[in-house]
Structure 1
Amino acid sequence: MKKLIYIAFSVFMLVGSVNVAQAAEGKEAKELTEQQQVKLNQITQRVEEIKKMDKASLSQAEKQDLKAELTTMKKEAKAISNGGIYLSLTALLVIIIILLIL
């Protein structure tokens, strides 16, 4: 049983480390075009407006719309900037489980 756990752990770690390695070596600081910078600034301003809103007075449907809008803006911002290091959730869970077992 322990062999199976260690093999599974190794596989999950290898799968997770591939994403981190690709993110670390393949990404250089990319210059944003003027249009991308404008779009990123618009997204930032809209997020700040939403943060300053009084959300207690909104209806449930309006809150859901705001949440959906924030989600799409977050995806757009990530697509524009292409930043960050990616580590798979599976690898993190396996690490935690192995630490608990040992």
Structure 2
Amino acid sequence: MKKITYFLSVMFLFTAFAPTAMAKDSKKNQPELSAEEQLRLEEINTRVDEIKAMDFADMSKAERKEVREELKEMKKEAKELGGGVYLSVGAIIIILLILILVT
């Protein structure tokens, strides 16, 4: 029974970390950000800080909707520029289950 448990735990670990390992390799192949892209990311960060400082209680519904749409667009653009490696919720759950089963 222990052999099956260890085998399954190793298989789950390989399954959980395989996408992360592939993502790290693709990140290395991605070129560094140019000066213009760095500047644009700084502008996005500055604008997000300005929006966080706003008082939404004084705004109308249409204005809040415009700000929300602007944030969505900036988030999409920043994600395209910055990239990143993320660990999914499913992978975290599998890791926790394996740790519980092994101990």
**Shared fold (TM-score greater than 0.5)?**
yes
Number of paired residues? 100
Q: Secondary structure at the match of 2:64?
A: helix
Give the Cα separation in 1 of the matches to 2:32 and 2:63: 36
Q: CA RMSD in A?
A: 3.3
Task: Give 1:77 deviation, angstroms.
Answer: 0.8
**C-alpha distance after superposition, 1:67-102 (max 9, x if no partner):** 2221221121121122x2222222234445677889
Deviating runs (4+, > 3 A) in structure 1?
A: 9-16, 93-102
Corresponding residue for residue 24 of structure 2: 24
Q: Deviations over 1:17-73 (max 9, x none)?
A: 222111233323842112212211221121111011111212233223322221221
More helix by share: 2
The 5-angstrom pairing of residues 1-102 of structure 1 reads: 14-28=14-28, 30-82=31-83, 84-95=84-95
Q: Which amino acid aligns with 1:51?
A: K
Gaps of 5+ in 2: 1-8
Distance 2:100 2:72 in 1: 34
Identity over the aligned pairs, expressed in percent? 39
Amino acid at match of 2:62: A
| Max Rg structure | 2
